[in-house]
Structure 1
Amino acid sequence: MKKSFNLLLMLLGLVVVSCNPLDDIHDEIDNELDNRLAVAQADYVLTEDDYDDLGQNFPNFSSVDDAKTLIPTLLSDLYPTYGAGSIINVGFDLYNPLRVKSYTVAGSDYAMIDLSVDYFSGRGEIVDFLEAKYPQAKNGEYVKLTYNILAEEIEYTLTDEDFDVVKDELGDVYPDPASSAANYNNFDRREGRDAYWSNDMILEALAVVISEEFGDVAGQKYNVTYPIYDGSPGTESMTVQFDGNAYIKVGGTSYELSSGDYDAIGVEFATAYPGPAANVARFGSFDVRSTSGNYWSESMLLEAFNFTLDNAYPNAVDGDKFIVTYKIYNGSPGVAVMNVVLDGGTYVIDTEASVSTIEETTVFAFTNDDWDEPYMLPANSYTEEFGQRFGNFGDKDEAYAKIAIFLGRNFPYAEEGEYKAVGFRFYNGSETVTEYVNYVFENGKWKAIPSVTSETLQFGYENGTWVPDNTIKYSLIKADYGIIADALSGTTGFETQIASMERYSNFDRRPGASAYWNDEMILTAMQAFLNEIAPNAAEGQKYVLTFDIYNGSNTTESISLIKQNGEWVRF
């Protein structure tokens, strides 16, 4: 009552005191009214009428940004008496269909995971790249990735049917040789005969067969074995590669180290390199991390390959070339290739050889905090398991329901909250395509994640308007602990803690433990982490970071940070 009386006196003063500017008086009145508005907190869920009033064609938003832009208008109408400091938690539906984004790895991208070459050597390096490229990936996200990868040589032996193909394709060019090859299922290597096959002619024949069998894959190598007749039956082999235009003869003899080779190397080099030798025998791979005590340098690898090839090919002569494929560990398992040539009785790196790589495109999904290929339904499951007439589904609702039952039978030990990315064949009315769907295991059942999900945003009343909370909620993944370790490397007093965190991918929160992270150290770690992953974050940006800890058992903690004056501080 007293405030109302004072407000009345202020309004009367407008008439009596004419020297005050009108704008200043209006500001005073607005401030007085604003101070009289309620400070409250409420929860609200949008109705179908609300979406219609906001101009939406469907009872949902197509993006979170749309929700942040449109909802404040609705709140102003619904809560006209709420003032500064008020908070409203708004529930709404979001149309969030599964989208597969595409990315082609550029030549410079491979350096993101410290590769000195412009290709991946195996699946482990691809996963490392995805973790580095998408550090804030969420469960259920997909990437269609195009990249170069080291091509494993394909072994192939010509069949009788292949010689028929050779006759059909080359009969007009080489009538007698092609007819002989089809009749006897071999290449006649007797010079001077009408049916003679030269090396160049055989290369043409192999090109026809490989193209028919595998398609023309640029960079892929094939070691092809074929029967010959040079007065008596025998076999030969040739390594060929499609260079993008034609098939060419390449390289030397392919050799892939076996488990027995790794054991033999372990014994042979036990005295010279005790640690690396024991390690290669135990794990069947070469540790190529330069910081490791079991490191195999390039010169050491050459010693090992000289030992192996000398035993495998005792009659080799200078100039003989070999393509050696071997397993490595560089932080994750991989495969590498070394081209060597015998020179002066010693195998050295063949500087004239080129590494064979091919371009691949693969769809990966982020589930259970890891990147992997989606689970593809077996080809025979559509007709034998799901009762479909053809090898696909024609109705998505039916597909989602039946796949859920299928997953329950085939993955009976799933844990609560586990994700499963599934790919299936779907006829869309004009063609059969691959579709994807995400499932989550809840209350003992697999449930398809719908395209329309329920979301919540918090809005606060500031400076006369409703403002959406910009908090980003993020749970650290395994690769993030490595980012923190690198960022804090060399920080005095953190040495033991960093080593433990990087090893176990969590923070030791046991007071008294040698690797204990106290609250201030956690704050320092998270500040360093955000400086790495969000260096250009806007002033006022908020993060809630959830991280793994060990306090006697494995669990999680969270910390809330906001960027103020260019620094990350608690809020």
Structure 2
Amino acid sequence: MKKSFYLLMMLLGLVVVSCTPLDDIHDEIDNELDSKLAVAQADYVLTEDDYDDLDQSFPNFSSLDDAKTLIPILLSDLYPTYGAGSIINVGFDLYNPLRVNSYEVTSSDYAMIDLSVEYFSGNGEIMDFLEAKYPQAKEGEYVKLTYNILAEEIAYTLSDDDFDFIGDELASEYPTPASSAAQYGNFDRRDDRDAYWNNTMILEALGAVISEEFGDVKGQKYNVTYDIYDGSPGTESMTIQFDGNAYIEVGGTAYELTNDDFDAIGVEFATAYPGPASNAAQYNSFDVRSTSDNYWSDDMLLEAFNFILKQEFSAAADGDKFILTYDIYSGTPGTAVVNLIKDGDDYVIDTEASVSTIQESKVYAYTNDDWDEPYMLPENSYTEEFGQRYSNFDDEEEALMKIGIFLGREFPYAQEGEYKAVGYKFYDGEGTDTEYVNYVFKNGKWMAIPSVTSETLQFGYENGVWVPDNTIKYKLVKADYGIIADALSGMTGFETQIASMERYSNFDRRPGASAYWSDEMIFTAMTAFLNEIVPGAAEGQKYVLTFDIYNGSNTTEEIKLIKENGEWVRF
């Protein structure tokens, strides 16, 4: 009634001041009405009827954008007397099924973690890449990553069944040799016999077996051992590789440095390189960080390789090739491969050899502030643990309930709030696929996170309409402190603070400490951080950043920033 009265009076005023432009009068009316409406704060949770009124097929929203668009319509009807400055916290249900996003690493992506090659050498580098690629990853987020990885050579020995397969597979091409191989379980290497197998024929036979056993994986090397007969029984081996079209023979004897080898290196080079030698023996790897006191240069590594190979292959002849695999530490554990050739009395780098890589795809999940592969249910658990007829589930509700109980037995020391990403086999009536689900440990139990979740958004009344609060809440992870260090590098007065922050992944907030971060320095750091990770943030975008600090104990603080006039300011 009051609102109608004010409207009537202002319309009468319009008749009196008819010379005032119509748009200005409308603005005056809106301002006058807003000034008379209530400024209030409330909480509201949508009901099933509300979803019906908003023409939703189910009592939830299918996306956050839908919620932001439709909820203001509802609020206008529910709170007609609320005016400018009012705030309503709205609870609603969101259909949020777990989605596995796919990403294929490009050639330029490897440089993101300072790699000079276009492949990963091990799992540690993959984790580093995921942290760098997704600095704002959320708990329970999944990525199917496709990348190139250093291929470890696979050792394989032909069985009698394999020779039977060769007998069938090559019967039409090499009738007598194929029949002999199947009958005797070996290759006849006597070149004066009808059953003779030359190297080209053996390569073809091995390629057929490997293709049947492993599939054709481009770049993967296989060191295949097989029985022969050259007048007496014996064995030979051949290293083969699928080049994308056919299997080819590749040179080199494969050898991987063992823990005993690293111990021997520690003793042999204790005088010449005391720090690096001791470190290699202790950790069974070579430290290849050029800034480290335990750094192994390329020349030092070659000395170590020569020492081991001369012991292990004392009868090696000039020109013999070796593919040496060894563990390294470059900030994270990894594996490296080097191709060597015997040149006179020493082993040198085989410059004509190429590194073997394969393309691989794996699913990774972000849980408990780290990327890792999801926990896959053991193959025998379906029948032995869950009472399934086959090695899969065919009922989702049953699967989620039984997996939760199983996790309780498998991980009895879980902490409150801990996440677990789980993969399991599911039969949908047509085929069996791998499904993923996130569990969280609450009140002593593993609870599956449902596909429909309860969410809350804050809406404010601005300029006559309800608008969603766009605040993004983000907690800094370890990699973020490195981003800040790089962004502030060279800034005068920050040297000690940056070194401390990068070392401990937190901000020293102890007044008087040499590495103390003041409020203004924190502000500088966080604005630099946002400029790095979201350089194109929209005007008005808000962030609440939570970061680790040390003030005598490890805890956290937060800072609220908003983009205004192209700059980040506090709000």
TM-score, normalised to structure 1's length? 0.96
Q: Matches of 1:18 and 1:326 in 2, distance apart?
A: 89
The answer as to whether partners of 2:497 and 2:516 remain within 8 angstroms in 1 is yes
Question: Which residue matches 1:305?
Answer: 305
The answer as to whether partners of 1:166 and 1:209 remain within 8 angstroms in 2 is yes
Question: Which residue matches 2:509?
Answer: 509
Question: Which residue matches 1:90?
Answer: 90
Q: Matches of 1:299 and 1:35 in 2, distance apart?
A: 79
Kindly state the Cα deviation for residue 212 of structure 1 after the two structures are TM-superposed.
2.0
The answer as to whether partners of 1:119 and 1:149 remain within 8 angstroms in 2 is yes
Measured at CA, do residues 141 and 342 of structure 1 come closer, stay the same or move farther in structure 2, by a change above 3 Å? Answer: same
Q: Deviations over 1:380-405 (max 9, x none)?
A: 11111111111111110011111111
AA at the equivalent of 1:482: G
Q: Matches of 2:399 and 2:563 in 1, distance apart?
A: 46
Kindly state the Cα deviation for residue 18 of structure 1 after the two structures are TM-superposed.
4.5
| Equivalent residues in 2 for 1:39-118, closer than 5 Å | 39-118=39-118
Kindly state the Cα deviation for residue 168 of structure 1 after the two structures are TM-superposed.
1.4
AA at the equivalent of 1:477: V
Measured at CA, do residues 176 and 296 of structure 1 come closer, stay the same or move farther in structure 2, by a change above 3 Å? Answer: same
Secondary structure at the aligned position of 1:331 is classed as coil
Matched, 1:270 2:243: no
Kindly state the Cα deviation for residue 17 of structure 1 after the two structures are TM-superposed.
4.7
Matched, 1:351 2:351: yes
Measured at CA, do residues 38 and 264 of structure 1 come closer, stay the same or move farther in structure 2, by a change above 3 Å? Answer: same
Measured at CA, do residues 284 and 478 of structure 1 come closer, stay the same or move farther in structure 2, by a change above 3 Å? Answer: same
Matched, 1:285 2:281: no
Measured at CA, do residues 442 and 230 of structure 1 come closer, stay the same or move farther in structure 2, by a change above 3 Å? Answer: same
* 444-453 or 48-57, which deviates more: 48-57
AA at the equivalent of 1:177: P
AA at the equivalent of 1:97: P
Unaligned runs of 5+ residues in structure 1 are: none
Secondary structure at the aligned position of 2:403 is classed as helix
Kindly state the Cα deviation for residue 448 of structure 1 after the two structures are TM-superposed.
0.5
Q: Matches of 2:355 and 2:225 in 1, distance apart?
A: 22
Q: Matches of 2:134 and 2:252 in 1, distance apart?
A: 40
AA at the equivalent of 2:416: E
Secondary structure at the aligned position of 1:224 is classed as strand
Measured at CA, do residues 161 and 10 of structure 1 come closer, stay the same or move farther in structure 2, by a change above 3 Å? Answer: closer
Measured at CA, do residues 164 and 78 of structure 1 come closer, stay the same or move farther in structure 2, by a change above 3 Å? Answer: same
Kindly state the Cα deviation for residue 64 of structure 1 after the two structures are TM-superposed.
0.9
AA at the equivalent of 2:479: A
Question: Which residue matches 1:147?
Answer: 147
Question: Which residue matches 1:134?
Answer: 134
Q: Matches of 1:2 and 1:63 in 2, distance apart?
A: 39
AA at the equivalent of 2:482: G
Q: Matches of 1:477 and 1:21 in 2, distance apart?
A: 55
The answer as to whether partners of 2:548 and 2:554 remain within 8 angstroms in 1 is yes
Secondary structure at the aligned position of 1:61 is classed as coil
Question: Which residue matches 2:469?
Answer: 469
Question: Which residue matches 2:231?
Answer: 231
| Equivalent residues in 2 for 1:385-396, closer than 5 Å | 385-396=385-396
Kindly state the Cα deviation for residue 423 of structure 1 after the two structures are TM-superposed.
0.8
AA at the equivalent of 2:544: V
Measured at CA, do residues 280 and 48 of structure 1 come closer, stay the same or move farther in structure 2, by a change above 3 Å? Answer: same
TM-score, normalised to structure 2's length? 0.96
Unaligned runs of 5+ residues in structure 2 are: none
Q: Matches of 2:474 and 2:527 in 1, distance apart?
A: 14
Measured at CA, do residues 388 and 271 of structure 1 come closer, stay the same or move farther in structure 2, by a change above 3 Å? Answer: same
Q: Matches of 2:51 and 2:374 in 1, distance apart?
A: 35
Question: Which residue matches 1:123?
Answer: 123
Kindly state the Cα deviation for residue 191 of structure 1 after the two structures are TM-superposed.
2.0
Q: Matches of 2:532 and 2:515 in 1, distance apart?
A: 23
Q: Matches of 2:131 and 2:330 in 1, distance apart?
A: 16
Q: Matches of 2:212 and 2:18 in 1, distance apart?
A: 96
Measured at CA, do residues 25 and 268 of structure 1 come closer, stay the same or move farther in structure 2, by a change above 3 Å? Answer: same
AA at the equivalent of 1:507: F
Q: Matches of 1:285 and 1:7 in 2, distance apart?
A: 81
Question: Which residue matches 1:214?
Answer: 214
Secondary structure at the aligned position of 1:544 is classed as strand
Kindly state the Cα deviation for residue 142 of structure 1 after the two structures are TM-superposed.
0.7
Measured at CA, do residues 107 and 16 of structure 1 come closer, stay the same or move farther in structure 2, by a change above 3 Å? Answer: closer
AA at the equivalent of 2:72: P
Q: Matches of 2:531 and 2:293 in 1, distance apart?
A: 32
Kindly state the Cα deviation for residue 14 of structure 1 after the two structures are TM-superposed.
4.2
Q: Matches of 1:535 and 1:16 in 2, distance apart?
A: 52
Kindly state the Cα deviation for residue 317 of structure 1 after the two structures are TM-superposed.
2.3
Measured at CA, do residues 79 and 192 of structure 1 come closer, stay the same or move farther in structure 2, by a change above 3 Å? Answer: same
| Equivalent residues in 2 for 1:356-435, closer than 5 Å | 356-435=356-435
Kindly state the Cα deviation for residue 555 of structure 1 after the two structures are TM-superposed.
2.3
AA at the equivalent of 1:343: D
Secondary structure at the aligned position of 1:248 is classed as strand
Kindly state the Cα deviation for residue 476 of structure 1 after the two structures are TM-superposed.
1.2
The answer as to whether partners of 1:317 and 1:345 remain within 8 angstroms in 2 is no
AA at the equivalent of 2:486: D
Q: Matches of 2:328 and 2:123 in 1, distance apart?
A: 12
Question: Which residue matches 2:294?
Answer: 294
| Equivalent residues in 2 for 1:250-269, closer than 5 Å | 250-269=250-269
Secondary structure at the aligned position of 2:334 is classed as strand
Q: Matches of 1:188 and 1:24 in 2, distance apart?
A: 101
Question: Which residue matches 2:240?
Answer: 240
Question: Which residue matches 2:322?
Answer: 322
Q: Matches of 1:409 and 1:272 in 2, distance apart?
A: 52
Question: Which residue matches 1:159?
Answer: 159
Q: Matches of 2:47 and 2:323 in 1, distance apart?
A: 67
Question: Which residue matches 1:195?
Answer: 195
Q: Matches of 2:284 and 2:306 in 1, distance apart?
A: 18
Question: Which residue matches 2:569?
Answer: 569
The answer as to whether partners of 2:6 and 2:33 remain within 8 angstroms in 1 is no
Secondary structure at the aligned position of 1:306 is classed as helix
Kindly state the Cα deviation for residue 198 of structure 1 after the two structures are TM-superposed.
1.1
Q: Deviations over 1:450-498 (max 9, x none)?
A: 0111111111111111111110011111211221122222223323322
* 210-219 or 442-451, which deviates more: 210-219
Q: Percent identity at matched positions?
A: 81
Kindly state the Cα deviation for residue 174 of structure 1 after the two structures are TM-superposed.
2.1
Secondary structure at the aligned position of 2:293 is classed as coil
Secondary structure at the aligned position of 1:406 is classed as helix
Measured at CA, do residues 56 and 282 of structure 1 come closer, stay the same or move farther in structure 2, by a change above 3 Å? Answer: same
Kindly state the Cα deviation for residue 528 of structure 1 after the two structures are TM-superposed.
1.5
Kindly state the Cα deviation for residue 519 of structure 1 after the two structures are TM-superposed.
2.0
Kindly state the Cα deviation for residue 315 of structure 1 after the two structures are TM-superposed.
2.2
Kindly state the Cα deviation for residue 44 of structure 1 after the two structures are TM-superposed.
0.9
The answer as to whether partners of 1:100 and 1:143 remain within 8 angstroms in 2 is yes
Q: Matches of 2:61 and 2:371 in 1, distance apart?
A: 29
Question: Which residue matches 2:542?
Answer: 542
Kindly state the Cα deviation for residue 340 of structure 1 after the two structures are TM-superposed.
1.3
Q: Matches of 1:214 and 1:519 in 2, distance apart?
A: 59
Aligned length: 571
Kindly state the Cα deviation for residue 502 of structure 1 after the two structures are TM-superposed.
2.1
Question: Which residue matches 2:178?
Answer: 178
The answer as to whether partners of 1:61 and 1:95 remain within 8 angstroms in 2 is yes
